[in-house]
Amino acid sequence: MKVKTSITISEEILHTIDQNLGESKNRSAFIEHALREYLRMRTKTIRNQKDLDILNKNSKRLNREAEDVLSYQVEI
């Protein structure tokens, strides 16, 4: 379901949007697509940061485990 809303943006941004609309000339669709992409990237960034925090929190233990595994490797 679509909901009508009102936003205020600078003339510069509106002009840039208009230059990038393409043949559709549909500002709403363009802005919705841009927001979806931004939110997708933001969600990914937040998830990646959480993963990094977990790795950093456990880094000493994980490094010890990696060293242990590597100690069983045969030299080539």
Task: Give the Cα separation of 70 and 38 in Å (integer).
Answer: 41
Residue 76 has pLDDT above 70, yes or no: no
* Domains in the chain: boundaries: 30-76
**Going along 1-76, which residue ranges are E strands?**
none
pTM for the full predicted model: 0.69
Place of tokens 């600078």: 10
pLDDT digits (tens, 9 = 90+) for 40-73: 999 999 999 999 999 999 999 999 999 999 988 8
Residues 6+ apart with CB under 8 A from 31: 17
